[in-house]
Amino acid sequence: MERTAVLERFDVNNVRKDFPILTRTVNGKPLVYLDNGATTQKPRQVIDAIAHYYTQLNSNVHRGVHHLSQLATDAFEVTRRKLKPFINAAHEHEIVLTKGTTESINLVATCYGKAFLHAGDEIIISTMEHHSNIVPWQIVCEERGAVLKVVPINEAGELDMAAYRSMLSDRTKMVAITYVSNALGTVNPVKEIIDLAHASGAAVLVDAAQAIQHLPIDVQALDVDFLVFSGHKMYGPTGIGILYGKEKWLNAMPPYQGGGEMIKEVTFAKTTYNELPFKYEAGTPNIEAGICLAHAIDYIQEIGLDQIARHEHELLEYATRRLLEIPGLRIIGTAKEKSSVVSFLLDGVHPYDVGVILDKLGVAVRTGHHCTQPLMDRYGIPGTVRASIAVYNTTEDIDALIAGVERAAAMLR
């Protein structure tokens, strides 16, 4: 009963009306936007908030006593206040605003590295990590003399959990793992990964860049030490990112950058640092994006992540079934638990050429290595064609994708 009632309330055509860009054409065809893993489109609520900020509020935050600065500061802090229940953080000051997932990971790698990593310590990542969850750890390993270990995956694109268990030891200081793979769509068993890491005394960073907009996340239930994600992949503005960190870590680590805002008192002899979270927020932040992210959170919560996940899952299953009907098409990433991403290859055809033909038909997908070159190497492929799904996609979008891929197959083979 309840399920029916909920489903009735979700009408994708109503959702689509909130996204002005979806009415435009590309190459003379209606836009079919299936590159949501790269960035999502923005609803009118977020676009209007951006205009409102610049017409009514524009001012620097946390500084002036004047009216506009107070208004901007309050609006900026509303976002932090909304993020707390959104991920169920214990404290608002455990939420640091950055410019994106990449900066959040670099912050943790740098500051955690300075505080806790020594020669011979080990960091574990996985084969399916985004370059942003590989390179910062390589840099810090080089600096500290630590060792990077990589959990392998099976052919389906699932983590080899037995290998993970055997890699953990008292030398392991950090496990940095993606929640959902941006290239394969695999949903990793992060709770189990975290529990095993904690049993070995290691901290865990979860890259939630592809999870936060698709499934409900509770940082306290997960007991995760750090969780990172980007505003622009969750219907919000570009240039704002989130770092959730447990208070004990954020207090124990040194600051990331020095400058305004992150200080309590500066003299030439000694500087003391501001309290959390400002200790990690040096300089003027992206105020516009910070304020307007709150509207993206509201938007997601009004629809509800359960409802979003159900809709996207239906489309993912439909897309998978239809793609597999195309002769010579291979799906890369066939994990049991998947979310929102389907990556594929047409036998004997370069992914780029498929992408070009799809673009001519108004269908936006991503082609290439998806910032996961080691993962592509694991499969011995140069890249894939990736369709990634968001709340506003429809079965008609999938039909357009299928028609385009069939056309590409006919033209290129």
Which residues are bridge partners to 125 per DSSP?
Answer: 150
Annotated active-site residue 371? The verdict is yes
Min dist CB 247 to ligand PLP, Å, is 24
- Of residues 209 and 329, the one with the C-beta less far from ligand PLP: 209
Gap between the Cα atoms of 350 and 382, Å rounded: 8
Strands 226-230 and 25-26, sheet pairing: unpaired
Sole residue written with tokens 């435009």 = 24
Q: Which two tokens stand for residue 301?
A: 């919560």
Min dist CB 100 to ligand PLP, Å, is 3
Find how far residue 186's CA is from the centre of its chain.
Answer: 13
Q: Which residues bind ligand PLP (CB under 6 A)?
A: 100-102, 130, 132-133, 178, 182, 207, 209-210, 230
Gap between the Cα atoms of 280 and 289, Å rounded: 18
Gyration radius (Cα) of the chain, Å? 22
DSSP 87-106: HT-S-GGGEEEES-HHHHHH
Residue 164's SS3 state is helix
The candidate with the shortest Cα–Cα distance to 370, out of 383, 357, 355, 389, is: 383
Find how far residue 385's CA is from the centre of its chain.
Answer: 19
Contact 378, 154 (CB under 8 A): no
- Peptide bond before residue 152 is cis, with ω within 30 degrees of 0: no
